[in-house]
Amino acid sequence: AGGAEQAPQVPRYVRVNTLKTHLDDVVDYFKRQQYVYQGKAGSMEEVSSLSGKKFYLDPHLPELLIFPPQMDFHDNQLYVAGHIILQDKASCLPAFLLNPLLGSHVIDACAAPGNKTSHLAAVMKNKGRIFALDRDAKRLATMSTMLMRAGATCYQLAHQDFLTTDPADPKYSQVRYILLDPSCSGSGMASQLPVENTLLPERLQALAGFQKKMLAHALSFPALQRLVYSTCSVYQEENEDVVWDVLQQREKEFRLVQALPSWSHRGSGTFAEAKFCLRASPKETLTNGFFVAVLERWHGGASEKS
């Protein structure tokens, strides 16, 4: 606290949009622009000392490139054409970890402005269906343009409060995967750091109450097999505590699974499985502050489809 410690600058991450192009083509494009490709990054030190026109392949995510922090590609022709998506590494984790099968049905419950929806569509190679919901019409409009530019086609947008969806509705009967990325304090965003002691306890309680309701609702979809819960919050109240509170009510049906075991920065909390969750931060993972939990239905669960 006291603002003495400066958070390290987060690199510029570039997700290659495999709906439109290939990793090799994007790497070749940047090489032709005199950027110097260094291959897969071997350590955090290498990434944090990145400078000039050097760039790396990310060691965790297969189609993510890492450039120095000051790089701005908003005018780059690959960005304009939807071949690359400018998305922080931590925000690429939820779709990667949900990893829906091609052809499956997925709900993206809080979808706008749609970076994770477009990533899901890429993971699914546009095969299957993503029900992408958001209660904010303006953000949905932005999202629609973005998804079109990204070449995503396997989605249905709905201007709807997720809490008003009916899990028994036949249109959701094959939904095996849910990505739940609800509104949060935003306290992990690099631009908002440092954040210690800045959020009122009442505001935090209200957010946590909403997040618990959303997670409990998501777990009531009958064919659900796997869910990813994520926030860009640094507070345990919005993260581990939400997951633990809801899971305790559903522990016979769902369990936490290890999210990306090779990731060193883990969840913290008062229960043993908190370390199954992962955390991200500028200091420890050179990303925005973020939290991810992966929940799966126990095999043989009552609602499993035969």
| Residues making contact with ligand SAM (CB under 6 A) | 110-116, 133-136, 139, 161-163, 181-183
Structure tokens that stand for 224 in this block: 């659900």
Structure tokens that stand for 291 in this block: 């939290």
Residue 20 vs 116, nearer CB to ligand SAM: 116
Q: What is d(CA 286, CA 11) in angstroms, rounded to the nearest whole number?
A: 7
Q: Cα-flanking dihedrals φ and ψ of residue 142, to 5°?
A: -60, -40
Residue 86 vs 101, nearer CB to ligand SAM: 86
CB of 273 to ligand SAM, least distance (A): 24
CB of 104 to ligand SAM, least distance (A): 18
Of 140, 138, 241, 224, the C-alpha closest to 184 is 241
Residue 16 vs 107, nearer CB to ligand SAM: 107
Q: Alpha carbon 262 to chain centroid distance?
A: 17
CB-CB contact of 117 with 153 (8 Å): no
Q: Which of 92, 110, 184, 232 is catalytic?
A: 232
Residue 92 belongs to what H/E stretch?
helix 89-98
Q: What is d(CA 288, CA 14) in angstroms, rounded to the nearest whole number?
A: 14
Residue 60 vs 213, nearer CB to ligand SAM: 213
Q: What is d(CA 276, CA 174) in angstroms, rounded to the nearest whole number?
A: 27
Q: Determine the number of helices (DSSP H) and then strands (DSSP E) in the chain.
A: 9, 13
At 278 the three-state DSSP class reads strand
CB-CB contact of 53 with 73 (8 Å): no
Q: Is 232 a catalytic residue?
A: yes
Residue 15 vs 30, nearer CB to ligand SAM: 15
| Helical residues (DSSP H) of the chain, grouped into ranges | 23-32, 44-48, 77-80, 89-98, 115-123, 137-150, 201-218, 240-249, 282-285
Report the DSSP beta bridge partners of residue 158: 133
Question: If you search the block for the tokens 């899990």, which residue do you land on?
Answer: 167
Residue 127 vs 159, nearer CB to ligand SAM: 159
CB of 12 to ligand SAM, least distance (A): 18
CB of 183 to ligand SAM, least distance (A): 4
CB of 215 to ligand SAM, least distance (A): 12
User: What is the number of the residue whose Cβ is closest to ligand SAM?
Assistant: 110
CB-CB contact of 228 with 180 (8 Å): yes
CB of 116 to ligand SAM, least distance (A): 4
Q: What is d(CA 279, CA 285) in angstroms, rounded to the nearest whole number?
A: 9
What residues are annotated to the active site? 232
